Structure 1
């Protein structure tokens, strides 16, 4: 079964917007912290890195747990 182009375009657009919504603040946060708030670069880097590292480590765990308990 093939998925119509219109459906693919809709999902692609939604994914693009979601990705932009989560990526752009992360890209702009580091210069804002260092230039506007005068946070040291190492501390600003950690502020940006730690939530992303948390996601990398714990999203697969949460997915495995939710997948295990919600199977029918």
Structure 2
């Protein structure tokens, strides 16, 4: 994206760095002279037994994984 002339912002810990995401979005909104790309790195399936694994894509999580994910997010 940089090579194409875009302004690129990276957030390394998109799972937990909420302040970092908000900060980058504020910076991106302030730019008006070129397109902006916000790259937020996250972990797919965070809190499940297959977190960060390709197995997280497309498959339904089981009851135990859903319960663990909700608990980790404070929804228990």
Please give the TM-score of this superposition, normalised by the length of structure 1: 0.30
Identify which of structures 1 and 2 has the higher relative contact order when contacts are C-alpha pairs closer than 8 Å and 6+ apart.
Answer: 2
Of Structure 1 and Structure 2, which has the larger fraction of its residues in strand?
Answer: 2
Of Structure 1 and Structure 2, which has the larger fraction of its residues in helix?
Answer: 1
Please give the TM-score of this superposition, normalised by the length of structure 2: 0.29
Give 1 or 2 for the bigger CA radius of gyration.
Answer: 1
